[in-house]
Structure 1
Amino acid sequence: MSIKKHIPNIITCANLLSGVLAIVYTLQERSLECAAWCIVLAAVFDFFDGLVARALGVTSPIGKDLDSLADVVSFGVAPALLVYQGLSTLSGGSMLAYGVFILPAFAALRLAKFNHDERQTMSFLGLPVPSNALFWIGASFALESIQYTIGSQLTLITYLVLAVLFSALMVSDLPMFSFKLKKAPLKALWRQILLVIIAIAAILTRGWFGCSLTIIAYVFLSLLPVKEE
């Protein structure tokens, strides 16, 4: 039996384990930064499992389902818990902080929708769950500074509104570009190139919050009309 057909699933399991570690770090409050890095690592594994599966010609329905299960944990539960911990501390244990757990529910709904949508082969409809996770990583590290600016109660309300907004984005039909490799002239990839430049600049200047700024830029760049070649 060839081992190559198991390689993508091993990478997907690494994604899942990274998400689990992020949850453990968050619950134990050992290092929220380590939790954030685990989610980023999960995103790296998530990018490569599909790439490797296509390169080896070993894509399968089981691999697709496993990928979705891993993504719910790594990009739904883990970032929501990271934000919840911050909001709960900020609000003195307010029950409203539980509202951010709408995110993993809609992440699961988005992934189930994606698995049965044949229109999303080279691009996306709706915000991908890894992008959602990256936004909330940055948002979790911005909590303290936002609190000092607008106050605890308004910060909590703002984050709950954002949770509803990003949940809607995940299940929307908003066309969004991807980084999936395809044969295209360089000028046709201007949005991808610009987003990479924005990401580097944002992260270098704003740290973790740069992740949130990058995803906001991603959404706005996806809204721009693209001239068909």
Structure 2
Amino acid sequence: MPLVTAAYLIGIAAVADFFDGLVARALHVSSPIGKDLDSLADMVSFGVVPGAILFQLLRHALPATGLPEWLAYVAFVVSIFSALRLAKFNNDTRQSDSFIGLPTPACTLVVASLPLILVHDTFSLQDIILNPWVLLLLALTLAGLLVAELPLFALKFKNLRWHDNSLQFIFLLLSLGLLVVLQAAAIPLVILLYVLLSVVKTARA
């Protein structure tokens, strides 16, 4: 299934995206062109591809409902808002140690998990995932979160002490538990957990 292959390739891209930033910080190297090239790569992996996956899922789901097939193009609102999100990130000095709005890799992981959940549908979620109204709502919700003025914590560790990184450790431990129990179906819940923990952190600040 091509969408499953795309999902696995997105996973590889997300790992590469994490480590390229890690290596750059460790080597203390950066440049304007490097930032632009990174955003260009992100736009393909975390902008164009998730829009295409949602588009294909909607094309599959819409004919059985009688809804107009052009609604499938709503999926690309994720691509458009991903471009806006990346442009804002490059020019927003508030996002050096945290994020404002959902990062594009997190958005893409939600979308990429859908083909994997369908292939390994242990929890009988096919009717929900292939409901066009659910897919349309998901596309619009993700697009909104990408550009929302919502502070979200970054998975950056100053050290390995619990006191200084308790939120990150809690998130990782809960995410690991969800992934062990629910496997691919856990990915949307992990991203939801990420947003909720960030909201709680902001409310307590």
Q: Which TM class, normalised by the smaller chain length?
A: 0.7 to 0.9
1:60 maps to which of 31, 35, 48: 31
Residue 208 (1) aligns with residue 184 (2): yes
**Unaligned 5+ residue runs, structure 2?**
none
Residue pairs, 1:105-116, within 5 angstroms: 105-116=80-91
> For 2:187 and 2:128, how far apart are their aligned partners in 1?
20
Residue 190 (1) aligns with residue 166 (2): yes
Name 1:86's counterpart in structure 2: 57
Name 1:129's counterpart in structure 2: 104
> For 1:86 and 1:174, how far apart are their aligned partners in 2?
28
Name 1:158's counterpart in structure 2: 134
Deviations 1:147-204, CA, capped at 9 Å, x for gaps: 5359x6xx21122122111111111111100112324741232221122122222222
Residue pairs, 1:4-153, within 5 angstroms: 29=1, 31-92=2-63, 94-142=69-117, 145-148=124-127
* Higher relative contact order, chain-length normalized (CA < 8 Å, sep 6+): 2
- How many residue pairs get aligned? The number is 196
Deviations 1:25-78, CA, capped at 9 Å, x for gaps: xxxx4x432221110110111111111112222211011001111111101111
Give the superposed CA RMSD. Answer: 2.2
Which amino acid in structure 2 is aligned with residue 72 of structure 1?
M
1:137/1:208 contact within 8 Å kept: no
Sequence identity percentage: 42
The SS at the match of 2:95 is coil
> For 1:205 and 1:48, how far apart are their aligned partners in 2?
26
**Unaligned 5+ residue runs, structure 1?**
1-28
> For 1:43 and 1:147, how far apart are their aligned partners in 2?
25
The SS at the match of 1:73 is helix
Which amino acid in structure 2 is aligned with residue 62 of structure 1?
I
Residue 218 (1) aligns with residue 197 (2): no
The worse-fitting range, judged by mean Cα deviation, of 218-227 and 37-46 is 218-227
Assess, with a 3 A threshold, how the Cα gap between structure 1 residues 189 and 181 changes in structure 2: closer, same or farther. Answer: closer
TM-score by length of 2: 0.86
The SS at the match of 2:38 is helix
Name 1:14's counterpart in structure 2: none
